[in-house]
Amino acid sequence: MMISHQENCAEHISRLLAKKQRIVHVAAGREMADLVLKNASYVNVFSNQICMGDIAVAEGVIAGVGCTYHGVQEMDLTGKLVLPGFLDAHIHLESAMVAPGEFARAVLPHGTTTVIADPHEIANVMGADGIAYMLQATEGLPVDVQFMLPACVPATPMDESGATLDCRLLEPFYGHPRVRGLAEVMNYVGTAAADSQVLEKITVAQARRGQVDGHAPGITGYDLNAYVAAGIRSDHECCTLEDALRKLELGQYIMIREGTAARNLEALLPLLIPRYADRCMFCCDDKHPSDLLEKGHIDCLVKTAIRAGVDPILAVKAASLNAARYFMLDDRGAIAPGYLADLVVLDSFRSFHIEKVFQQGRLMYSGGTMEDFLAPRVEPPLARRALNTFHMAPLTARDLQDSRPKGVIGLVDGEILTEDRGRAGGVDLSRDILKIAVVERHKNTRHIGIGYLQGYGLKEGAVASSISHDSHNIIVVGTDEQSMADAANRVAENRGGIAVWKGGGCAAQVVLTIAGLMSEAPLEQVNRDLERAKEAAFRQGVNRGIDPFMTLSFLALPVIPTLRLTTRGVFDVNTQLYL
C-alpha cells in the first residue's frame, strides 16, 4: 500500500507535536528532564551577563533555565562556565584534507557544534556530484554541517575546472534542509558590472530565502555600492579595519577570519566593541590539519580575542548567536528555552580549557575523550565517482619543455599576493628561477600552462600537488622537466595529493584520494604525512618563509594579484591578459 505525501506530513507533524508537548511539560516542571546541568554559570547572550541556575534539557533542546529542575541524569557544574556551542560562519571542509567525519572528530572537542560549509573545492572537481557527496558525507554528524551553495564554479572564465555550475544545476539543492543560501560570490567584477549570470544566481538564492555571502577584498566606491546593492550581505576577506568598516557601514556583516592561509583577527579586533560587535562573526575559511590539532578551531579565535582585552561575552556572541542569526538558524547560538542543547563547558574564561561538549543534549566530549560515532554512508556510485577524478595521460619531460620566454611569478614571504618579475627563458637556480606548470587533469585535454617562479627556493627535484585553487588541476614546480613530470605522475597515480620528488624517487607524499582533495585516513596520520612532506621540501631548499604546498595552491587562482598560472599560461590579474 502506497503512503501518500499528506500522510507522511501528518505523521511528521504528529511526532513534532509530541516532542514539543514533552519539552513544554519539562519546562513547566511537570516532567523530569533528560539531563539537568545543576548550579551552572552560563553566558546569557541576550542580557550580556553571566547567569546562574539549572539548565534542563529534553529531546535535545533546552527546556528551561534558572529554575530548579530534576532530571533522569543530573550533573553538578558548580564553579564551571557554560557557553553556547560555537559556529564557524564560513569554512571549506576540504581544506582539512580529511573526510567530513574526521573533520567533526577534530573540531567537536574545541566546542564547535555547527559549521557553515562551502563545498566550492569539491564542486570544482565534481560539479553537482561534489555537492551531493558532501551533503551525504555530513548527514547526521555530531557537528551540524549546514551548506552555502558554490557561487563560482569555475571561479573565473580563465579557469579550467572539472565542471561548470549554473543556476539550473544549483537550484534543486535549495530544497535541501541544510542549504542556507549562496556562498562567497568571488566574481565581484561581474557583480558590479550587472553580469546577468552572476545576478541570476543571487536572485534565485534570495527567492529561496537564502543568504548570499561575499568575497570582495579591497573593493571601494561605486563598485562596492553595486556589489552590496546586488544583495550580498557579508564579507570574510577584510584584512584591514578600514576595509571592514567601509563594508559594515553599507550593511554587510563582517566575518572575522583566522585560518591557516589568511589571518585577520588581530587587524579586526577593534570591531569587537558594543558599537559594531553584533554585525561580526567568526570564521576559519581554511584550516589545515596541523592548525586543527595544535591551535584548535573557533575556540582559538574566542581565546585570542579575550586575551587581547575583548569583552568575553561579545567574543562568545561572535562565535555563536551572531552567526546563527545571520544564517537564520533560529534554534541555536544561545542558552535559553527552545534552543538546541549545544553546550560547551569551560573551567573559566581565563584558561579557557574546554572540559565537556554537548551536541543536542548528548555528551559527545568529556575529559579528553570523544564519544564514537559512525561516519555517514555515501551512496556507492557517488563514492566511486569521488575516488576516480583523474583523467589524464602520463606526462613526459617533453610535455613540459618550452623554450619561449615566459612570465616570472614573484613570491612575497607571508603573502599570497605575487609580483611581476619580468620574463625568463629557462631555469636559473643562481637567481632562484624555477619552472612551474599547471596540468589539466579533469578531462584529459592535455592543456598545460607553463611559466617561471622566483622566491620558492627549491634547489633540486620537484613538488607537485592536486590542491590548486580553485580548479584543482595539478600544479608542479621544479628544477628540471623530468622531475616535474615524475612528481605530477605520482600525484595522478595516487588519485590525488602531494608529491616531493628527488633524484628519481619520491622523497615524501600525501595521498588524497577523495576528489584529489581529502584523505580517507585519520587526521593525525594525514598531518604526519603532511609535515614529513613539508620537511622534505625544505631539505630540498624550499624557502622556510613560505608553506611549500599552500603557496603552490594559490598560484593557480586567477583572482589574486598580480600574476597567476592557469592551464593556458601566466595570467596578469590586474590587466586580465595572458603574458
Q: Is residue 371 part of a domain?
A: no
Domain with 288 in it: what CATH number? 3.20.20.140
Q: Is residue 483 part of a domain?
A: yes
Domain with 18 in it: what CATH number? 2.30.40.10
Clarify whether residues 106 and 220 are in a common domain.
yes
Clarify whether residues 471 and 509 are in a common domain.
yes
Q: What is the pLDDT of residue 505?
A: 97
User: Which of 11-20, 151-160, 347-356, 454-463 is least confident?
Assistant: 151-160
Q: What is the pLDDT of residue 578?
A: 93
**pLDDT by residue (tens digit) across 451-478?**
999 999 999 999 999 999 999 999 999 9
Give mean pLDDT, residues 491-507: 97
Rounded CA separation 181/210 (Å)? 4
User: Which of 417-431, 498-512, 551-565 is least confident?
Assistant: 551-565
CB-based contact 443:481 (threshold 8 Å)? no
DSSP element (H, E) containing 41: strand 33-44
User: Which of 39-48, 187-196, 390-399 is least confident?
Assistant: 187-196
Number of residues assigned to the chain: 579
Give mean pLDDT, residues 485-503: 98
Clarify whether residues 360 and 403 are in a common domain.
no
Clarify whether residues 206 and 102 are in a common domain.
yes
Q: What is the pLDDT of residue 4?
A: 54
Q: What is the pLDDT of residue 2?
A: 43
Angle at 445 between CA 439 and CA 449, to 5 degrees: 35
Clarify whether residues 55 and 106 are in a common domain.
no
Q: How many domains does the chain fold into?
A: 3
Clarify whether residues 66 and 92 are in a common domain.
no
Give mean pLDDT, residues 487-497: 98
Residue in this structure with the C-alpha cell 519539552, named with its chain if needed: 23
Q: Is residue 12 part of a domain?
A: yes
Rounded CA separation 431/450 (Å)? 18
Clarify whether residues 70 and 89 are in a common domain.
no
CB-based contact 119:156 (threshold 8 Å)? no
> Among 302, 334, 366, which residue terminates a domain?
366
Q: Is residue 22 part of a domain?
A: yes
Q: What is the pLDDT of residue 561?
A: 86
Clarify whether residues 160 and 216 are in a common domain.
yes
> Among 25, 53, 79, which residue terminates a domain?
79
State the sign of the Cα–Cα–Cα–Cα dihedral 471, 476, 481, 484: negative
Query: pLDDT class for 159, splitting at 50, 70, 90?
Result: confident
Query: What is the percentage of the chain residues whose pLDDT exceeds 70?
Result: 99
Domain that holds residue 400: 389-578
Which residue, 211, 144, 131, is CA-closest to 172?
A: 131
Q: Is residue 380 part of a domain?
A: no
The yes-or-no verdict on residue 131 having pLDDT over 90 is yes
Residue type, 176: H
Query: pLDDT class for 502, splitting at 50, 70, 90?
Result: very high
Clarify whether residues 465 and 510 are in a common domain.
yes
> Among 29, 47, 79, which residue terminates a domain?
79
Query: pLDDT class for 182, splitting at 50, 70, 90?
Result: very high
User: Which of 67-71, 147-151, 155-159, 327-331 is least confident?
Assistant: 155-159
Give mean pLDDT, residues 39-64: 98
Rounded CA separation 512/491 (Å)? 9
DSSP 399-444: GG---S-EEEEEE-TT-S-EEEEEEESS-BGGGTEEEEEEE--SS-
Angle at 565 between CA 563 and CA 566, to 5 degrees: 135
Clarify whether residues 470 and 562 are in a common domain.
yes
Clarify whether residues 420 and 566 are in a common domain.
yes
Query: pLDDT class for 7, splitting at 50, 70, 90?
Result: low
Q: Is residue 379 part of a domain?
A: no
The yes-or-no verdict on residue 3 having pLDDT over 70 is no
Q: Is residue 375 part of a domain?
A: no
The yes-or-no verdict on residue 156 having pLDDT over 90 is no
Beta-sheet strands, E only, within 173-279: 179-185, 211-214, 234-235, 253-257
Clarify whether residues 75 and 213 are in a common domain.
no
Q: What is the pLDDT of residue 1?
A: 38
Give mean pLDDT, residues 288-299: 94
Q: Is residue 373 part of a domain?
A: no
User: Which of 104-113, 145-154, 161-170, 257-266 is least confident?
Assistant: 257-266
